[in-house]
Structure formats: C-alpha cells, structure tokens
Amino acid sequence: MNREELLKWMKGRISDYYYDILTIWTLKRKNKFLFFKRKFDIVPTTFSKGYIIRSGFDSIIVYDD
C-alpha cells in the first residue's frame, strides 16, 4: 500500500505518539526508489499488540494504545 493508505488505515489503531513517529518515518521514505514507488507492508507483531511496517530494507514497530 502507499503512504496515504497506510496512514489512513493506521489512524485509529495506534496511539497518537506512534502515529506521529510513523508520519515522519513515512514522509522520509515517500520518494520513489529508482523507477518504483515506495510500498509499505504491515505485519502484526508476535508477542505484543503492535505492527511492524516495512519499506524495502527499513522497518519500524508501532504499538496500540
């Protein structure tokens, strides 16, 4: 999914603190990678309530409220 879809989907699912971090993290990765648009993948964490968001080789973990 693209950046806008990711932020819209995550809006009510994580705390405002992590949402702000996610917004800045995705903004820095918004640019195209060579000829391709950046895509973001979401994977739920195994042992806690949160999500791992991946973009290429970068990833970030955000948590629920």
Query: Residue 24's domain spans which residues?
Result: 3-63
pLDDT of residue 37: 74
Q: At a CB cut-off of 8 Å and minimum separation 6, what does 29 contact?
A: 3, 38, 55, 56, 58
pLDDT of residue 32: 63
* Furthest CA-CA distance within the chain: 37
pLDDT band at 12 (very low <50, low <70, confident <90, very high): confident
Better-predicted residue by pLDDT, 31 or 63: 63
For 13-60, the pLDDT digits (tens) are 898 999 999 999 988 887 766 667 788 999 999 888 899 999 888 899
Q: Which helix (H) or strand (E) holds 10?
A: helix 3-10
Number of domains into which the chain is organized: 1
Indicate the burial class of 20 (C-beta count within 10 angstroms; 0-12, 13-18, 19 or more).
exposed
